[in-house]
Structure 1
Amino acid sequence: MNASDLTPLHVHAGPAYDVVVMGGGVSGSIAAIAAARLGARTLLVEEQGYLGGSLTSMGVGPMMSFHNGAGQQLVLGLPEELIVRLQKRGASPGHIPDTTTYCSTVTPFDSEELKIELETMLAEAGGEILYHTQLAAVVRAGDRIGAVVVCNKAGLTTLTAKTFIDSTGDGDLASRAGATFQRGRERDGVAQPMTMNLKVGNVDTAALRAYVEAHPEDFNWPHGAETGLARLRVSPRVCLGGFKKAWTAARAAGEVEVPRDDVLFFETATPGVIIVNTSRVQGLEATNPYELSRAEAIGRRQCAQIFAFLRKHAAGFAHAIRMDTAPKIGVRESRHIAALYQITAEDLVHERVFSDPIALGGYPIDIHSPSGAQTNSVHLRPEACYQIPLRSLLVAEPANLVVVGRCIGATHEAAAAFRVTPIAMAIGQAGGVTAALAARPTEGRAPDVAYDQVRTALLAQGAKLPS
């Protein structure tokens, strides 16, 4: 076969927008809402048939964390508005104590209601959604993106915009537009493992709680069993990492082939329904479609082993039912885009003060070992409040590109902290504001937008920033 044998490709011209957001995860969804609320004609493009990204298509839950270790809330604005709206729908208990003690709070939610609420917020702001659509190509126009070519049931379509937002998680738009990037960690390109999340129902949480009270030594408590048990007695939901004795024995006997040293699980907004975040697929690259396909299959097999383990060995799970594995495997890390500033672990640990902060966080550095069974964590001081600078969302070229979510400019270690969804949403809000402002007189040149304008717009949308 040669090129002459191919059916001619017809590329249709689509509408023109102020802002096109590629990727409808929570960071991209919040970015689109923020841009639309500033009056930008905004299109959100998503490959699935719903929004929410890791929280819906990858089965991740709960959100963690809106607060630092001392319980001070650092993420407000549109992310907090989303939670309040979910609470009003009876779809979230709100921010509750983290009974694992890894951080201070977690925020369970109903994933189906989350899909609806994100769509509702974007529609109210005047934004549009294009589902079942993937990025096919990028058309450069000098130092800018002139258009993106997308593929869906209608074939190929060009979408033009003044500014574009990469919220793909993997930096797909940025990398195809010519931005440079680093895969995984700097020394060898290896990324954190992927996880296939498992959802189980009919868990007897009363029996589970009783077992934890009687055997606290069988669970991991980063900030002490006393703290964990005290939280467990008042929290409406259970979050735990443990069953260490039985899990270690099952791994040694070959019952489970999961390179992780405990079972991590979180009760959802629905009592008795639990997300098991335990599978661990190492050594495969999330941006390689063949390796990603292998990871999906490995993750499902691991989840079958994990479910059998829970039914056989775990208190409260004897009559549990397997509800589903996630539609997609969860990806913690892939590309890190080379931005105008790369955030480092030292910036977070030492709480570096930037001249252009657009989001705050207090979540620990949380590295799931790329090769071992452990999780390597750096717990910050309880009152920690680190800053995310605007420059880490911007690249030298293309000038009309803004990057949000876990693929912004950062090292392997730093990204392991702010990759969590509350901080990713705060970053998304800042990216949406910046893109909308850039689409005004500067004709899409994001680095030319004055930081004071971004700050003013973020504060007007309720975001929390340093005073």
Structure 2
Amino acid sequence: MIKKILFFLCLYCINTVYAETIKTDVLVIGGSASGTAAAIQCARSKIKTILVEPGPWLGGSMTAGGICILDANKNIPSGIYGEFRKKVTEFYKKTPGYDTTYNATLRFEPYTGAATLKKMADTVKNLTVKLNTPWTNVKKDDTGWDVTIMQNGKSTTIKAHVLIDATEFADVAAKAGATLTSGTEGRQDTGEKLAPEAASANIRDLTWAIILKDYSSTADKTIPQPENYNANLYTCLKNKDIKKLLTEGKLPNDEYLINWAECGNRYAATTEQLAPNKRQDFFKALRLQTLGLIYYLQTELGYKNLGFDENFNTPGHLPYMPYIREYRHIKGDVRMVMDDIYTPYNRASKLYRTSIGVGDAMPDQNMISPVDYPPFPAYSIPLGAVVVKDLDNLIVTENAISVTHLVGASTCNPAVQMTLGQGAGTVAAFCAFFKTTTQHLNVRAIQGEILDFKGYLLPLSDIPLADPDFRAIQQVSATGLLQTKMQASTGNTLKVVFAPDSLVRTAEVKPVINEIYTRGFLWFNKTKPGAYITVGNLLSFISEITLAEPKPLQTDLQKQWKSKYKFKDNFDLNRPVTRREFAVLANKFLNPFARQVDLSGKLIN
């Protein structure tokens, strides 16, 4: 009898252990902007994916953190971020005064953003979303990972081939043993002209955002005086144009986002204060100071009509979390520096060739040590910036990616992070699908998948997704065969454009042609093109590389010039070729995008 009892107890234990272990291809920890996009992309790439978020919402800083005004990437609405923008705009299209133009600044109520992301996630097969689910431990298991989570008070192990840390603090990467750095690098370390002479421990401020609703001029929504209230902390607001500040933060349905510098709700922070064992005490003090700002606004500045609505189910009705602009960065396979943004073509490394995301956010300045950035261009984010060095199949997103302090001032933007998250998800899906590791990534295959799902590789604001030649132009631009151009935009920003109707200079394409094609040097010596590549030159080079007979090639292209390719200029062998014509024909016949590159952008022979 005792043996039977022991036998059944053994069976029960085995079944219990089995029930508490879940297997998946990709595990994403953190339902941040990047984490949500990464999980959605993994699942859309037909990879079994689990997304674990300790809090109640998806979206991270832009929803649970209340940073719900996004003016970045509006001219380059890549992939999942573009889809999110479109869904939010569609939701508000009948709301009076809402701006639905193509590239308007995106404004939404936090719970609307969170609900939109949840709905997007719920419609994707192969994706399981676990909200209100904390994680407690992570450890390496051969080429995969074992992560412990808590569900309904019980411990569960998730075994995953690939792990993505999409948290705001890189806590998962730290627990996994990744090398992390923090602070502001010195000029000697990064070679960045804008970097300070010496390194320091400075990191960017954080914001505890406020969402208030206007309840009409007769309403009194004054909150109780917060604990430790000190009116002197907010007195500089008396010299500010409060109406203007509120207008800048206007949201739909008479709501306002408050994200004010100086004596507002942006706070200096140190890496010590953000350490896991001190974080919650620090945040408690910041929440009280933020409530003090609201009380001051209501009592001293006369805005008692502004009060909380039901956005956040927290004791003080503040967002669930602060907006963390910076804490620490991983040591990635590559590190992105300012020159990768300003002079991407003039470097030994060609990181733009490995792009998995795009951004154009103006750098979010640090109050302590502001930087005088020159006009800031749109840029590409390299694949190696999300891959943790020396730890297989660990990918990191959010503000912990492998960039410098100066670059992170832009890449931390939630709109940029959502774009990057899609790229990170594609990297994870590649590893899972091919049962390989992050040491054996195929950059071009990953980029091709991003393009399949309407993502951008280069931040070309003048070639929208609807352009029939979008993919050809993106692929050729990603090789550097045709270089992008910077163009003045609003404020201190620069658009990056392709300029499809401009002409192709010989000096521009010759170096890359010689780099990619072994017979390029011989062709240039034989043909000796002029300052501009002509239609005839391009056809001659196509014939040289593909071994196609010149006459039949010319006859076929002449017939198809407008009917198939829809080129607007007439077929003329002596006319300088346009960049659009060159990109389309080079992509079709020469396929430079097929040449593999490593994570530094160097061609692989």
Q: Deviations over 1:252-277 (max 9, x none)?
A: 98252789996755435424211111
Describe the shift of the 1:255–1:17 C-alpha distance in structure 2 as closer, same or farther (beyond 3 A). Answer: closer
Q: In the alignment, which residue of structure 2 is the partner of 1:275? A: 257
Equivalent residue letter for 1:149: T
Q: 2:363 aligns with which of 359, 365, 377?
A: 365
Percent sequence identity over aligned pairs: 21
Q: Kindly indicate whether the alpha-carbon contact (under 8 Å) linking 1:349 and 1:380 is maintained by their aligned counterparts in 2.
A: no
Q: In the alignment, which residue of structure 2 is the partner of 1:423? A: 416
Equivalent residue letter for 1:357: S
Q: In the alignment, which residue of structure 2 is the partner of 1:141? A: 141
Q: Deviations over 1:40-63 (max 9, x none)?
A: 001000001221111222111212
1:291-310 to structure 2, matched below 5 A, reads: 291-310=278-297
Q: Kindly indicate whether the alpha-carbon contact (under 8 Å) linking 2:57 and 2:114 is maintained by their aligned counterparts in 1.
A: yes
Q: Work out whether 1:53 is the aligned partner of 2:60.
A: yes
Describe the shift of the 1:121–1:310 C-alpha distance in structure 2 as closer, same or farther (beyond 3 A). Answer: same
Give the root-mean-square deviation of aligned CA atoms.
3.0
Q: In the alignment, which residue of structure 1 is the partner of 2:380? A: 387
Describe the shift of the 1:96–1:261 C-alpha distance in structure 2 as closer, same or farther (beyond 3 A). Answer: farther
Q: In the alignment, which residue of structure 1 is the partner of 2:399? A: 406
1:169 offset after TM fit, Å?
Answer: 2.1
1:199-278 to structure 2, matched below 5 A, reads: 199-202=211-214, 254=232, 256=234, 266-278=248-260
Q: Work out whether 1:63 is the aligned partner of 2:70.
A: yes
Equivalent residue letter for 1:304: L
Q: In the alignment, which residue of structure 2 is the partner of 1:432? A: 425
Q: Which moved more, 1:276-285 or 1:124-133?
A: 276-285
Q: Work out whether 1:336 is the aligned partner of 2:323.
A: no
1:75 offset after TM fit, Å?
Answer: 3.3
Q: Work out whether 1:18 is the aligned partner of 2:25.
A: yes
1:64 offset after TM fit, Å?
Answer: 2.8
1:305 offset after TM fit, Å?
Answer: 3.5
Return the alpha-carbon distance in structure 1 between the equivalents of residues 45 and 154 of structure 2: 31
Q: Kindly indicate whether the alpha-carbon contact (under 8 Å) linking 1:145 and 1:177 is maintained by their aligned counterparts in 2.
A: no
- TM-score of the superposed pair, with normalisation by structure 2: 0.60
Q: In the alignment, which residue of structure 1 is the partner of 2:514? A: none
1:330 offset after TM fit, Å?
Answer: 2.2
1:331 offset after TM fit, Å?
Answer: 1.5
1:100-249 to structure 2, matched below 5 A, reads: 106-126=105-125, 127-142=127-142, 144-186=143-185, 187-202=199-214
Q: Kindly indicate whether the alpha-carbon contact (under 8 Å) linking 2:78 and 2:456 is maintained by their aligned counterparts in 1.
A: yes
Q: Which moved more, 1:10-19 or 1:331-340?
A: 10-19
Q: In the alignment, which residue of structure 1 is the partner of 2:501? A: none
Q: Kindly indicate whether the alpha-carbon contact (under 8 Å) linking 2:88 and 2:108 is maintained by their aligned counterparts in 1.
A: yes
Q: Deviations over 1:56-114 (max 9, x none)?
A: 221112123114xxxxx1232111111111222228946779xxxxxx95210122222
Describe the shift of the 1:449–1:260 C-alpha distance in structure 2 as closer, same or farther (beyond 3 A). Answer: farther
Describe the shift of the 1:308–1:82 C-alpha distance in structure 2 as closer, same or farther (beyond 3 A). Answer: same
- TM-score of the superposed pair, with normalisation by structure 1: 0.76
Describe the shift of the 1:273–1:375 C-alpha distance in structure 2 as closer, same or farther (beyond 3 A). Answer: farther
Describe the shift of the 1:167–1:109 C-alpha distance in structure 2 as closer, same or farther (beyond 3 A). Answer: same
Equivalent residue letter for 2:68: G
Q: Kindly indicate whether the alpha-carbon contact (under 8 Å) linking 1:255 and 1:309 is maintained by their aligned counterparts in 2.
A: no
Q: Deviations over 1:186-205 (max 9, x none)?
A: 32333212221112211779
Return the alpha-carbon distance in structure 2 between the equivalents of residues 386 and 172 of structure 1: 27
Return the alpha-carbon distance in structure 1 between the equivalents of residues 372 and 68 of structure 2: 19
Q: Deviations over 1:214-267 (max 9, x none)?
A: xxxxxxxxxxxxxxxxxxxxxxxxxxxxxxxxxxxxxx9825278999675543
Q: Which moved more, 1:49-58 or 1:456-465?
A: 49-58
Return the alpha-carbon distance in structure 2 between the equivalents of residues 270 and 35 of structure 1: 32
Q: Kindly indicate whether the alpha-carbon contact (under 8 Å) linking 1:196 and 1:280 is maintained by their aligned counterparts in 2.
A: yes
Describe the shift of the 1:153–1:413 C-alpha distance in structure 2 as closer, same or farther (beyond 3 A). Answer: same
Equivalent residue letter for 2:138: V
Q: 2:39 aligns with which of 22, 32, 41?
A: 32
Q: Deviations over 1:433-458 (max 9, x none)?
A: 110111012x2412412111111111
1:152 offset after TM fit, Å?
Answer: 3.7
1:408 offset after TM fit, Å?
Answer: 0.7
Q: Kindly indicate whether the alpha-carbon contact (under 8 Å) linking 1:110 and 1:268 is maintained by their aligned counterparts in 2.
A: no
Q: Kindly indicate whether the alpha-carbon contact (under 8 Å) linking 2:358 and 2:381 is maintained by their aligned counterparts in 1.
A: yes
Gaps of 5+ in 2: 1-15, 186-198, 218-229, 310-316, 459-473, 475-605
Return the alpha-carbon distance in structure 1 between the equivalents of residues 409 and 164 of structure 2: 22
Q: In the alignment, which residue of structure 1 is the partner of 2:504? A: none
Return the alpha-carbon distance in structure 2 between the equivalents of residues 260 and 425 of structure 1: 37
Q: Which moved more, 1:113-122 or 1:13-22?
A: 113-122
Q: Kindly indicate whether the alpha-carbon contact (under 8 Å) linking 1:281 and 1:295 is maintained by their aligned counterparts in 2.
A: no
Return the alpha-carbon distance in structure 1 between the equivalents of residues 455 and 99 of structure 2: 18
SS of the counterpart of 1:446? coil
Q: Deviations over 1:330-368 (max 9, x none)?
A: 211112111011112332233555220111222222222
Describe the shift of the 1:203–1:377 C-alpha distance in structure 2 as closer, same or farther (beyond 3 A). Answer: farther
1:379 offset after TM fit, Å?
Answer: 5.1
SS of the counterpart of 1:365? coil
Return the alpha-carbon distance in structure 2 between the equivalents of residues 42 and 287 of structure 1: 30
1:174 offset after TM fit, Å?
Answer: 1.5
Describe the shift of the 1:53–1:322 C-alpha distance in structure 2 as closer, same or farther (beyond 3 A). Answer: same
Return the alpha-carbon distance in structure 1 between the equivalents of residues 99 and 402 of structure 2: 30
Q: Kindly indicate whether the alpha-carbon contact (under 8 Å) linking 1:31 and 1:430 is maintained by their aligned counterparts in 2.
A: yes
Q: Kindly indicate whether the alpha-carbon contact (under 8 Å) linking 1:284 and 1:292 is maintained by their aligned counterparts in 2.
A: no
Q: Kindly indicate whether the alpha-carbon contact (under 8 Å) linking 1:366 and 1:376 is maintained by their aligned counterparts in 2.
A: no
Return the alpha-carbon distance in structure 2 between the equivalents of residues 366 and 351 of structure 1: 21
SS of the counterpart of 2:51? strand
SS of the counterpart of 1:165? strand
1:321 offset after TM fit, Å?
Answer: 2.2
Q: Considering only CA atoms, is the larger Rg found in Structure 1 or Structure 2?
A: 2
Equivalent residue letter for 2:275: N
1:130 offset after TM fit, Å?
Answer: 1.3
Q: Deviations over 1:262-308 (max 9, x none)?
A: 67554354242111112132234364235322332332233233224
Q: Kindly indicate whether the alpha-carbon contact (under 8 Å) linking 2:274 and 2:282 is maintained by their aligned counterparts in 1.
A: no
